[in-house]
Chain A
Amino acid sequence: MAAVHKPKNHIYGILLFFITLTGFAQMPIFKRYYIADIPGFGWLAQFYVTHAMHYIFASLLIALCVYGVVDFVLSKRSLTKISVSGLVKGMILLGLMVSGGLMVIRNLPGVYFSHTLIYAMNLGHLGLCMALITVSFYTLVKKKRLK
């Protein structure tokens, strides 16, 4: 990822938290495991609410990522300033956006994808999400930039 300023970093972190939360809420787990029973968390078990929120946070994350990339290009910064972990996270984010974008298209009326593609998209999106969480925690804990 491009070197980020503090406010953008915070926005990215908040977006990532909520998009992951609403993404996991697409699975019927929050009610099963009592999380939706906690006062103020009931919305996590309302699938249409979390679905709409996931779309909204996805839109904001896409906007932020495009902003970061265009800003990086216009600033004529060197690619060498991007850490290896940043590159890895960037590639995972791109994969999430592509698979997520395909799922959004799939959800529109009158759109039919093959069953294999749908299954691959669902598993791919979840797998990439888990990979992003893993890499993010790794860099957060280690505070290590892999060059």
Chain B
Amino acid sequence: MTSKISRRSFLKGSFTAAGSVAVTSSMVRAASSLARENTESLVTVIDIRKCIGCEECVYACQESNAPKFPAPERPFPQMFPKRVPVADWSDKKDVSNRLTPYNWLFIQPATATFAGEEFELTIPRRCMHCENPPCVKLCPWGAAKQEPNGLSRIDSDICLGGSKCKSVCPWNVPQRQTGVGLYLDILPSLAGNGVMYKCDRCYQKLEKGEMPACIEACPENVQTIGPRSEMIEKAHALAKQINGYIYGETENGGTNTIYVSQVPFDQLVLETGKGRPPMEKEEDRMADGSNLARAMLLAPIAGALAAFGKFYNRVKEDA
């Protein structure tokens, strides 16, 4: 890999103009397919080799989603108990090297040594849009939603900011902003703590048949979006072509974001932590629940059989 992180600032300026170049015919075709009624979920394939870390996608994301960003009211309510943390990013809106309520996509630098070669990579990171998203399914208020096209998003009008979605997310993606949202109108000191924010895949653009901002702005065409079966085929073909590796197809039971890299993902050295998700193998966290749900079908049968057994014994004793 030849692209170095130090190139980023140079490339950022160079590609600002390039980013405004009219969309290519292939992008127009892809965009129109997004608008069609499609029963398959939409998947993005991210070719990590192509990413030069210019952050055009990051700025496009911020610009496109700025109307959705939080506008917290001050002073924040006094929280009870005092251990409840205040999460305030409203004075740090410019932070772009991690996920925040004002930055739903960031470029994560990674290094690796593989097959005797040293690699420096830059990886666009955001919500993976899981096929069975724990953030959506386990939200106790129904504030997180999943669309039939596979995208998941958090309704900022309903979210109370309890941060459960972040706790159950394998990548801890959603980020909280205090001082905004419904909790202010209910029990601001006792329940809730703001609103959780994350990538919603520019649903407002998808609804109009347009590309998500990050895909549209990328000068290197790092991301491709399309129906799941098509994109999985494409990801595997690409991985085969470069003798590479795939991340995201099976993680957490399957996601709608698939990374393709020439370096095995378990060889990547990433700076992880708050707002900087890992890239490790993730088991399906909803699997136990799904298995128990299927087993639940046996419960009424078992109850009925027990009652019939009791009835049978009683009849037998009477006879």
A128 touches B (CB below 8 Å): no
Contacts of A7 in B (CB 8 A): none
The answer, yes or no, to whether A140 is at the interface (CB within 8 Å) is no
A139 at interface by CB-CB < 8 Å: no
Cβ distance B37 to chain A, nearest Cβ, rounded Å: 14
Residue of A nearest to B137 (CB): A107
Q: Is the CB–CB distance between B158 and A65 below 8 Å?
A: no
> Interface 1/0s, chain B 141-162, versus A by CB < 8 A?
1100111100000010010001
A63 lies within 8 A of B167 (CB): no
Residues of chain B at interface, number, CB under 8 A? 44
- A52 on the B face (CB < 8 A): yes
A112 with B148: CB separation less than 8 A: yes
A1 to B317, alpha carbons, bound, how many Å? Answer: 27
A: number of interface residues (CB 8 Å):
42
Which residues from chain A contact B191 at a C-beta distance below 8 Å?
A: 29
Q: Which residue of A lies closest to B298 (CB)?
A: A59
Q: When the two chains form the complex, which single residue of B141, B253, B285, B302 contacts A122, counting CB atoms closer than 8 Å?
A: B141
Given contacts A27-B140, A28-B162, A62-B300, contact A71 B289 (CB under 8 A): no
Residues of the A chain whose Cβ atoms lie less than 8 Å from the Cβ of B137 = 106-107
Inter-chain contacts of A28 with B (CB < 8 A): 140, 162-164, 167
Q: With both chains docked as a complex, state the minimum distance between the C-beta of A88 and any C-beta of chain B, in angstroms.
A: 21
Which residues from A are CB-within-8-Å of B310? 71, 74
Is there an interface contact between B84 and A63, defined as CB atoms closer than 8 Å?
Answer: no
* Residues of chain A within 8 A of B311, CB atoms compared: 71, 74-75
CB-defined contacts of A38 to chain B, threshold 8 Å: none
In the complex, chain A residues whose CB is within 8 Å of the CB of B81: 32-34
A109 CA / B288 CA spacing, docked (Å): 12
Contacting A at CB under 8 A, from B37-62, are none
Contact A55 B140 (CB under 8 A): no
Residue of B nearest to A37 (CB): B83
Residues in B with CB closer than 8 Å to A63 are 299-300, 302-303, 306
**Do A47 and B164 form a contact, CB below 8 Å, given A26-B138, A62-B299?**
yes
Binds B, one of A79-87, A113-121, A130-138: A113-121
Residues of chain A with a CB closer than 8 A to B167's CB: 28, 47
Bound-complex Cα distance A119 to B158 (A):
9
Known: A28-B167, A106-B137. A62 touches B289 (CB 8 A): no
| Chain B residues in 8 Å Cβ range of A62 | 296, 299-300, 303
Task: Give the residue among B142, B155, B310 with the most A Cβ atoms within 10 A.
Answer: B142
Point out the residues of chain A lying under 8 angstroms from B131, CB to CB: 109-110
Bound complex: CA A132 to CA B289 (Å): 25
A58 at the interface (CB under 8 A from B): yes
A98 within 8 A of B: no
Q: Do A71 and B145 have beta carbons less than 8 Å apart?
A: no
Interface presence of B17 (CB below 8 A): no
Return 6 A-B CB contacts under 8 Å, by A number.
A34-B83, A47-B164, A55-B289, A58-B299, A70-B304, A70-B308
The 4 closest A-B pairs by CB, nearest first: A66-B303, A70-B307, A63-B303, A109-B132
